[in-house]
Amino acid sequence: MAFDLTLTQAQHDLVARTHDFAENVVRPVAQHYDQQQEFPWPVLQEAARAGFYSPLFYRDLIGDPTGLSLPVFMEELFWGCAGIGLAVVMPALALSAIGQAATPEQMLEWAPQCFGTPDDIKLAALAISEPEGGSDVRNLRTTARQDGDDWVIDGHKMWIGNGGIADVHVVNANVDPELGHKGQALFIVPGGTKGLELVRKLDKLGCRASHTAELKFDGVRVPKANLLGGWDKLEHKLAKAREAEKTGIRGRSATLGALEQTRPMVAAQALGIARASLEYATQYANEREAFGSPIIDNQGIAFPLADLAMRIDAARLLTWRASWMAANKIHFERGEGSMSKLAATEVAVAATERAIQTMGGWGYITDHPVEKWYRDAKLYTIFEGTSEIQRVVISNAIAQKDGDVPLHAEMDPDGGPLNKAFGRGTETRTKMMNKAMEAKDKVPEPVLRGAMKLLQPPSRK
């Protein structure tokens, strides 16, 4: 499907309903959950009742071939509050990893357990990072070994959203440490499994409504059915990895794949924070007077806001493109997913900082939400791959693509063969137009109009 910026009626309605939810359910309680650092259970229930908390909802969003449903939903929800937003969407991150690795039967079994029902909310977590390293996922130390009909997991995980309170933990562990990241596999560890310990809930700078924890896995035993993808697939993957070790060919890990897919999703969340800040700062600058006129009359206030408006729109375009690419299974060969995450998260930090500066002393205190948005935004240049890691991905990708044409030049053309002969800029079309111009004084006007119509290029649709 071609990339198109026009929203469908259903997407328009989704934006309106999500915005209404963010404005009337999320924002009124955002400060409370931030200050108390409390998990927003009632908001999750409301989200589930509104239809925003279920695996089928995400299946619908991810299955949308335009790719736009997912980012527009994320942007509106996170416009409300990023901490609460994270609590609401955390199971979707776990679901994305399950979706990439699981068999259809496993998907059917675990997806509903990631969300539960409005009257019985369940939570899910994606546990990848470890104290010794989050960026370097090739170097994770948690292990899984087979023992009879079970897998036994030992290790230590850090910064895990919903960690220890989740009903479903998707955990990656090394089954063959000699193979590095190619020896990793994903396992389901249900909440309450013996040996799974919530060491501590982490005290955070921002996004404080979300629960983030340190976890230990001490001889955690799960049945072999909890290996995502199953044994045959893992054995095949390990055999290929061993072969690749011998030949020196480098491969991709399921964990890295999951992160790549979720980057536009995270980018759209950051856009929600950025847009909220720009709106708030602009409104304040229009109303606040200093030296006899609104402060927005000063270019020192107005120009940084103009720059932010431009950067937010540019980041949204990158995000929508990456999301459309993911929906249409076009690989991020030039680092397009990382570009969207890098642009959106960095502009979120810049927009929140500028909102505080625009509001002066009022921006620095908790009477207004911008100090909270500033704290929330900072997380976005750190998790799901830091800004530096996005730059590593992009620079590696462009180095590999050195000398290649840009994405749009590589993609199959749209619009049919007539475009080749009569499309804009073709020789035939130019000649015909010139002839028409020469003849214009000799030909009656209705005939001329008809001829001009004929010269229109074939429709795209």
Ligand X SMILES: Cc1cc2nc3c(=O)[nH]c(=O)nc-3n(C[C@H](O)[C@H](O)[C@H](O)COP(=O)(O)OP(=O)(O)OC[C@H]3O[C@@H](n4cnc5c(N)ncnc54)[C@H](O)[C@@H]3O)c2cc1C
Q: Which residues pair with 145 in a beta bridge?
A: 152
Contact 335, 398 (CB under 8 A): yes
Minimum CB–partner distance for residue 457 and ligand X (Å): 47
Binding segment (CB under 6 A) for ligand X, from list 71-79, 157-165, 244-252, 312-320: 157-165
Q: How far apart are CA 115 and CA 55, in angstroms?
A: 7
CB of residue 90 to ligand X, shortest distance in Å: 7
Backbone torsions φ then ψ of 370, nearest 5 degrees: -70, -30
**By CB neighbour count within 10 A (0-12 exposed, 13-18 middle, 19+ buried), where does 155 fall?**
buried
Residue 384 annotated to the active site: yes
Handedness of CA 398, 399, 400, 404 (dihedral sign): positive
CA distance 305 to 117: 42
Looking at residues 391 to 430 of the shown chain, list those that interact with ligand X (rule: CB under 6 A): 392
Query: CA-to-CA distance for 140 and 295, rounded, in angstroms?
Result: 51
Interface region with ligand X, contact rule CB under 6 A, candidates 174-182, 353-361, 381-389, 407-415: 381-389
Burial level of 45, CB count in 10 A (0-12/13-18/19+)? middle
Window 81-140: residues binding ligand X (CB under 6 A): 126-129, 133-136
Question: Residue 179 or residue 266: which is nearer to ligand X going by CB?
Answer: 266
Task: Evaluate whether 22 touches 84 at the Cβ level (below 8 Å).
Answer: no
From 169, 204, 211, 372, residue interacting with ligand X (rule: CB under 6 A): 204
Phi, psi for residue 268 in degrees, rounded to 5? -65, -35
Give the residue with the Cβ less far from ligand X, 309 or 382.
Answer: 382
- Count residues near ligand X (CB under 6 A): 22
The answer to whether the beta carbons of residues 383 and 205 sit under 8 Å apart is no
Which residue among the candidates 178, 384, 388, 410 is catalytic per the annotation? 384
Q: Chain centroid to CA 107: how far?
A: 21
Q: How far is the CB of 277 from ligand X (least distance, A)?
A: 19
Can residue 161 be called a binding residue for ligand X (CB under 6 A)?
A: yes
Least separation in angstroms between residue 345's CB and ligand X is 12
CB of 91 to ligand X, least distance (A): 11
- Binding mask 209-238 toward ligand X (x if CB under 6 A, else -) reads ---x--------------------------
The stretch near ligand X (CB under 6 A) out of 6-14, 158-166, 288-296, 404-412 is: 158-166
Q: Which is nearer to ligand X, 207 or 278 (CB)?
A: 207
What six digits make up the tokens of 424? 């804009």
Q: Which residues are catalytic?
A: 384
Residue ranges binding ligand X (CB under 6 A): 126-129, 133-136, 159-161, 204, 207, 212, 379, 382-384, 386, 388-389, 392
